[in-house]
């Protein structure tokens, strides 16, 4: 399993452009930005539209944090006495759920 995420590099951020669309952009260097996604109007209004864009903009950081959490959990399982309070079966189930989420983020079929 490769944890490589093949997405636009750089910091992602959201910005409202006009009334109807909130965009997610990536800073790709040299002051340049690239559009990553556009969040159009929703039935529940601009607050929901902004929330969608913020979640998309944070997705790279969430992915990286999930990788770190998975590695920490796996390391703990490999350590004698690690995860004794919760139980190793539960920890393995959590790792499986994390692996599934990471694969989905990479566009891999499960």
Bigger pLDDT: 70 or 2?
70
Predicted confidence at residue 26, as pLDDT, reads 94
Q: In terms of C-beta density within 10 A (0-12 exposed, 13-18 middle, 19 or more buried), how is residue 58 classed?
A: middle
One-character DSSP codes across 20-84: TEEEEEEEEETTEEEEEEEE---TT-HHHHHHHHHHHHHHHHHHHHHHHHHHHHHHHHHSTTTTT
Q: What is the pLDDT of residues 52-98, one digit of tens each?
A: 999 999 898 888 889 988 888 888 777 776 655 556 677 778 888 88
């Amino acid at each position: 399993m490769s944890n490589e995420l093949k997405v636009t590099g750089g910091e992602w951020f959201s910005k409202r452009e006009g009334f109807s669309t909130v965009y997610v952009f990536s800073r790709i260097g040299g002051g340049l930005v690239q559009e990553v996604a556009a969040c159009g109007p929703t039935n529940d209004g601009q607050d929901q539209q902004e929330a969608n864009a913020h979640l998309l903009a944070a997705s790279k950081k969430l992915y990286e944090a999930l990788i770190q959490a998975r590695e920490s959990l796996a390391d703990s399982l490999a350590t004698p006495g690690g995860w004794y309070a919760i139980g190793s079966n539960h920890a393995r189930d959590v790792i499986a759920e994390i692996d599934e989420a990471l694969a989905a983020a990479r566009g891999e079929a499960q």
